[in-house]
């Protein structure tokens, strides 16, 4: 066996075999050759195969010992991990090599080698504290043309510079645009009619003169335009108002534009496109009529754009699109975890093979945050992605380029792609997953760009799913709850006959749509006191509890969609009188939502008693004929106002639906909790009840009579 050599980071390395030795296989890393991993389908010992991925599970200590004995592949893996993990810790007393626990080596077809290493760390400030786990995800790859020994590295990863430049952005963007324009006919945006075009747009053709200017769309020949999706944030960007409108038609000096706007102008010009749409500049912000006219068309503006640029990582217009790359990693702290912004830098690992030939393997931290965000395994916590207005901007755009803090990401109706090529590899391997795991996923635009004449049930399912996701997002003003989703509502109305649009609900699906629930309220906690109900909104709409102002007020349809909806034979709901708006009617302003819409509802109706149980914290229950059921309030019952309710007060329940739980084959009753208002026969929705207690409340409605009431 050849004499081991010391490599660049001080680990003992060298060839595991010499030219005269028979080939030996390391039982810890299998010489980084996927073909040497045993043919097993299930987890057996230290290796398994799944969905085309081959994974080895081993221990850090075993790999260290193997590297010391001369296994160059184990040494390369350890070097790659330790080259990155040292920057992930703070206030930690550890020897990374000694504290390395489990190592998961994944061989992914068509991509490099991915390694997940788990450590246990001890705080310097508190050595007695229980060791804290730390995870490190590292990708191994080779540059194009670089020789290497290991079959796992035969596919190179996409290079990602630590600083994104305009030239780099345009280089990769053009490749994605060319492929999409050539191979994805569904992604070519429809040419909008004159009535659908924004009134104004930015002309960037005069960029070389140092300025851009507003022009009226009626005065130019439209071909292509780009739209910008950005976060206003606390630092308000430059805007067009009545007082500077004339000046902006003349010119807007580029030096006066904030970084995000300036970068968008540069990208637009570099693509040889002359028109750019930015909401704060193309809409007169202090002209209510202009804002409402243009806001109604906003979804169409994004849908008709040739490309949308999404400044995903920037909290305001000052952040820009081009910046230093970093990845967010959690560092151990005495009291909590600290999020570190670790530079997203590739590092070479050099080693010598037989014949003293020098080789180089590249390593980098995996852009895990970007991958998990777009593949749907984590919520969108970016400044822009967490905003309510941005959802329709993302979903309605045919093509979007995202400026994520880790890398560029491309999304069109047919494809997801990223700069490092990792998302493409995951997408090619991913199999269809159960509906529950994908409920919160809009991983591709194809989920929202349903075909016209899609089945009404499909469209309605997607709408309720969309509302559930939308209700978790943030808004600057409570009054924006319905306007920020109205563009999507207009789009949905053209996919199937949905009837009248009623404060976020469709008249053809009123019964099911009334069964939203306030999510994430623990059974035995008083966190319900934080629910803030919008008293100006009709109580039967999910929009009444969704503020977007930072409270944890999610209106969820997840359970009713998962378990199935079977409307009770006695239940019926319809608008009282001629109410609502058909969203296609351009004469109707979808942003002016009146507070007097009421529903005429009939169904099995009972009176119950409200009680508070204090066995383990607080639990709110309804009592009927000696049987108690826990329920979810829609508002803080202790606060003064129409929802204030004292213990022992009488409330009412109306049965809407019965369904079957697939897990336990037990009946579920879906009930709306109501409180009488001062007006005779008029009620407000104040809560929601799911009876899934093995039929505990089955007898509640056995002798109930049908009543017809009004819900305001």
Task: Give the tens place of pLDDT for each residue, 140-181.
Answer: 888 766 777 788 876 666 678 889 999 999 999 999 999 999
Q: Are residues 333 and 316 both part of a single domain?
A: no
Angle between helices 388-396 and 456-470 (to 10 degrees): 140
Q: Is 654 domain-assigned? A: yes
Q: Are residues 93 and 139 both part of a single domain?
A: yes
What residues form DSSP beta bridges with 671?
A: 655, 689
Q: What are the backbone dihedrals phi and psi of residue 152, each rounded to the nearest 5 degrees, phi first?
A: -65, -20
Q: Are residues 560 and 427 both part of a single domain?
A: no
Q: Is 652 domain-assigned? A: yes
Q: Are residues 506 and 550 both part of a single domain?
A: yes
Give residue 433's pLDDT: 41
Print the SS3 string covering 165-215: CHHHHHHHHHHHHHHHHHHCHHHCCCCCCCCCCCCEEEECCCHHHCEEEEE
Q: Are residues 432 and 472 both part of a single domain?
A: no
Q: Are residues 606 and 657 both part of a single domain?
A: yes
Average pLDDT over residues 462-476: 89
d(Cα 399, Cα 397) in Å, to the nearest integer?
Answer: 5
Give residue 545's pLDDT: 85
Domain containing 640: what range? Answer: 456-711
Give residue 643's pLDDT: 84
Name the region of 506 (left: φ>0; alpha: ψ -120 to 50; beta: rest): beta
Give residue 266's pLDDT: 98
Q: Are residues 222 and 334 both part of a single domain?
A: no
Give residue 507's pLDDT: 94
Higher-scoring residue by pLDDT: 681, 38: 681
Give residue 405's pLDDT: 92
Is residue 604 predicted with pLDDT exceeding 80?
yes
Give residue 154's pLDDT: 64
Give residue 549's pLDDT: 57
331: number of Cβ within 10 Å? 17
Give residue 695's pLDDT: 63
d(Cα 505, Cα 498) in Å, to the nearest integer?
Answer: 10
Q: Are residues 352 and 376 both part of a single domain?
A: no
CB 135 within 8 A of CB 116: yes
Q: Are residues 19 and 105 both part of a single domain?
A: yes
Q: Are residues 262 and 295 both part of a single domain?
A: yes
Q: Are residues 558 and 636 both part of a single domain?
A: yes
The number of domains in the chain is 3
pLDDT in tens, 524-549: 333 343 455 666 789 999 998 876 65
């Amino acid at each position: 066996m050849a004499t081991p050599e010391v490599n660049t980071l001080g680990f003992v390395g060298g060839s595991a075999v010499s030219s005269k030795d028979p080939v030996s296989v390391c039982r810890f890393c299998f010489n980084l050759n996927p073909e040497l991993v045993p043919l097993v389908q299930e987890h057996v010992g230290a290796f398994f195969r799944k969905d085309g991925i081959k994974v080895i599970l081993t221990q850090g200590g075993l790999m260290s010992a193997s590297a010391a004995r001369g296994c160059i592949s184990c040494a390369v893996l350890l070097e790659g991990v330790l080259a990155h993990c040292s920057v992930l810790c703070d206030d930690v007393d550890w020897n990374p090599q000694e504290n390395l626990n489990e190592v998961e080596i994944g061989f992914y077809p068509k991509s490099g080698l991915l390694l997940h290493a788990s450590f246990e760390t001890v705080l310097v400030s508190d050595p007695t504290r229980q060791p804290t786990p730390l995870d490190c995800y590292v990708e191994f790859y080779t540059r194009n043309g670089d020789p290497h020994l290991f079959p796992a590295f035969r596919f190179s990863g996409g290079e990602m510079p630590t600083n994104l430049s305009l030239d780099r952005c345009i280089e990769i963007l053009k490749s994605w645009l060319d492929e999409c324009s050539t191979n994805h006919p569904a992604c070519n945006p429809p040419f909008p009619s004159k009535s659908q075009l924004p009134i104004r747009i930015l002309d960037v053709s005069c960029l070389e003169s140092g300025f851009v200017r507003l022009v009226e769309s009626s005065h130019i020949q439209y071909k292509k335009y780009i739209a910008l999706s950005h976060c206003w944030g606390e630092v308000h960007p430059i805007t067009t108002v009545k007082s500077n409108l004339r000046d902006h038609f003349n010119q807007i000096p580029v030096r006066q534009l904030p970084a995000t706007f300036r970068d968008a102008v540069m990208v637009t010009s570099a693509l040889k496109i002359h028109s750019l749409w930015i909401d704060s500049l193309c809409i007169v912000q202090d002209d209510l009529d202009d804002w409402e006219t243009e806001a109604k068309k906003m979804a169409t503006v994004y849908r008709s754009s040739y490309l949308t640029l999404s400044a995903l990582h920037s909290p305001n217009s000052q952040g820009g699109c081009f910046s230093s790359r970093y990845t967010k990693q959690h560092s151990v702290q005495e009291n909590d975890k600290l999020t570190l912004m670790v530079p997203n830098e590739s590092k070479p690992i050099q080693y010598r093979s037989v014949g003293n030939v020098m080789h180089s393997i590249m390593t980098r931290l995996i852009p895990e945050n970007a991958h998990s965000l777009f593949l749907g395994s984590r919520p969108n916590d970016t400044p822009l992605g967490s905003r309510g207005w941005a959802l329709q901007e993302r979903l309605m755009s045919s093509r979007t380029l995202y400026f994520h803090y880790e890398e560029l990401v491309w999304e069109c109706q047919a494809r997801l792609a990223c700069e490092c090529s990792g998302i493409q590899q995951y997408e090619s391997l991913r199999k269809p997953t159960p509906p529950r795991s994908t409920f919160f996923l809009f991983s591709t635009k194809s989920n929202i760009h349903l075909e016209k004449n899609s089945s009404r049930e499909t469209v309605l399912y997607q709408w309720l799913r969309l509302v559930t996701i939308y209700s978790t997002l943030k808004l600057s003003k409570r009054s924006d709850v319905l306007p920020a989703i109205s563009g999507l509502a207009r789009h949905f109305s053209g996919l199937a006959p949905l009837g009248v649009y009623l404060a976020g609900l469709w008249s053809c699906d009123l019964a099911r749509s009334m069964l939203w629930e306030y999510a994430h309220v623990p059974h035995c906690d008083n966190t319900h006191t934080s629910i803030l109900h919008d008293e100006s909104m009709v109580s039967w709409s999910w929009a009444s509890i969704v503020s977007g102002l930072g409270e944890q007020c999610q209106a969820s349809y997840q359970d009713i969609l998962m378990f199935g909806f079977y409307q009770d034979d006695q239940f019926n709901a319809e608008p009282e009188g001629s109410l609502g708006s058909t969203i296609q009617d351009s004469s109707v302003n979808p942003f002016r939502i009146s507070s007097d819409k009421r529903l005429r509802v009939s169904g099995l109706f009972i009176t119950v008693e409200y009680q508070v149980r204090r066995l383990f914290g607080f639990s709110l229950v309804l009592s009927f004929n000696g049987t108690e059921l826990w329920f979810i309030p829609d508002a803080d019952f202790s606060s003064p106002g129409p929802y204030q309710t004292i213990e022992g007060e009488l409330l009412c329940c109306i049965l809407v639906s019965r369904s079957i739980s697939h897990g336990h084959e037990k009946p579920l009753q879906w009930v709306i909790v109501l409180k009488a208002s001062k007006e005779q026969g008029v009620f407000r929705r104040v809560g929601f009840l799911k009876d899934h207690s093995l039929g505990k409340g089955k007898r509640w409605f056995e002798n109930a009579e049908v009543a017809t009431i009004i819900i305001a």
